[in-house]
Chain A
């Protein structure tokens, strides 16, 4: 009993438990879930699919974790910023006004940097509103939640911009000769860079202290506004990278559909990772495991014949359950029940 209790209090218990649960359900339902095959020199299979498709959510979850930790609010604009970054990238590559090109106008790297830069600009807009003007994070990000997608449509002239240029597809699919999907590497690089940034500099510590108590952090000499701002910029850049990967998958910029409903996935990943949505301490690894768990849930739902439009119903219910379990009022209620039971036992 005590061992079990210790285990449940480990920070990574919730995400790993959920992951195992989802995988077990799949194992019972269809044993071929874990089958991996090699076709045309690349790996295929549901598991590979989860790791591949989960990359964007993992990248978003990295940024979202920092935002949640530092400001106790979430950035709900990430999905729209993904779409805007993708549109910026494709518009720069294709030239404004062209909707389908076989040749690039500028080197590929310039377009991608433009997309990531646009993500950073969006992040700094959110960050300025939250850190300088002290607006609630969700309201501040609500502005870009609507506007970013619309601005993306303007860039693309209300159409879908196609980049029919072979190397552009590498980022979202496979590099010739490599059996593992490229987005996996992108996700790993992003995670490594952010982890190093947090571990090798004092940034991680600062973020936690600002998140736990903003005033105390400021009094002890941390410039809390700047720390908050930096977190939002990192979140925006992550959204930009995720958007370019998503656009590369379909070698086009589809403003209406790229990153649709991803904000829910990103927030769900943070909550599933065992992070409190009230800010403060955070656990990056938990969020990343959470992100892949979400993708596993999505893949499972799709395999069960639930359409992409209907999937949010289940995810919304999961969010509510996790948040309720984390809520202080619920914890108090459980503690009261336990105390009552103990009293009853003693009386008996």
Chain B
């Protein structure tokens, strides 16, 4: 029985990886003349989605317990606005703002987690209130759009514009005959480190295993002597904390804050996690799948942007359609399994 369960999960992850490879290959063929095949295009997906990768890791942890966190998009908007506003108008240093944002993330997660874990309120209601709260707070901090320049905070500017070059042989020669060396930003490194850390956390630590146990069957987790309430609460704290890190990475990428920033990001994060094989009912999933989920999401956006003629709303429609497809796939898997066990 145990082996079977592992199988269906692996199948979902394999489907995801194949889908990503297929999409990318199709992109390379269709948009060959627009530089889709360059390594930089792939690295740009990572650069643009570094924040989303962090957020999706947190989302995966919450979804493993059977919960969900739809406040992430708004929290990112709040973090970005706070960081930009703090550095521009209060003259704070970049490090102070980073610490402040992380602390706010922890507090936000603790409140949400307490309400879900100890008050036993539906996670959706709690995090939806959190979503509107954070979005409203963004407008309370500042209701316009502000961006940050080198003059405002040289340190932050330096962080955002550091390039880490790849080995030169991976580069390609552009139209003017110059060698273009592909690069990544430090944000990508941070995001990938977080993926590895969360992977290890989920696989080898007591806390990580208890997340799976709580999501798999809450009753048996209680009987095993796990503190279900605390585990649930901690998963939301972790999610909000990772979301704050994601917010910082997002801010490094956009260098601006606005009320409408990152709307619908929760949808991307949930879709990435679901596409990556995390079950909505909890108990099954891992962050490697989620990473590929994010990459698929990023590829869709690149498709829409590279085409140039498509409206930008197509990318959110495509994401929603993929989410829908994978949810249906999951529920069909579950129905088949139920029928077999009956």
Contact = CB atoms under 8 A, between A and B. Distances in A.
Nearest to A144: B320
Given A140-B327, A158-B313, A323-B121, A313 B133 contact: yes
A158 B68 contact: no
B242 interface: no
Contacts of B135: 309, 312
Contacts of B331: 133-135
Interface string A178-199: 0000000000000000000000
Interface string A306-348: 0101111111110110011001111000000000000000000
A143 interface: yes
B335 to A, nearest CB: 8
A22 B327 CA distance: 42
Interface residues of A, number: 48
The size class of the interface chain B forms with chain A is 35 or more
A136 B267 contact: no
A104 interface: no
A142 interface: yes
A223 interface: no
A317 B133 CA distance: 7
B327 A135 contact: yes
B8 interface: no
Interface in B133-169: 133, 135-140, 143
Contacts of A154: 311, 313-314, 317
Contacts of B324: 129, 143
Given A142-B267, A320-B115, A147 B316 contact: yes
Helix, strand, loop or mixed for chain A's interface?
helix
A129 B327 contact: yes
Helix, strand, loop or mixed for chain B's interface?
helix
Nearest to B323: A143
B328 interface: yes
Contacts, number: 129
A264 B138 CA distance: 17
Interface string B58-94: 0000000000101000000000000000000000000
Interface of A: 73-74, 76, 129, 133-136, 138-140, 142-147, 149-151, 153-154, 157-158, 261, 263-264, 267, 277-278, 307, 309-317, 319-320, 323-324, 327-330
Interface of B: 68, 70, 115, 118-122, 124-126, 128-133, 135-140, 143, 259, 264, 267, 270, 280, 311, 313-314, 316-317, 319-321, 323-324, 327-328, 331-332, 334-335
Given A147-B321, A320-B126, 20 more contacts: A73-B122, A73-B124, A133-B332, A134-B334, A135-B280, A138-B68, A142-B270, A146-B267, A150-B313, A154-B311, A264-B132, A277-B122, A309-B138, A310-B139, A315-B132, A316-B133, A319-B129, A323-B115, A324-B121, A329-B120
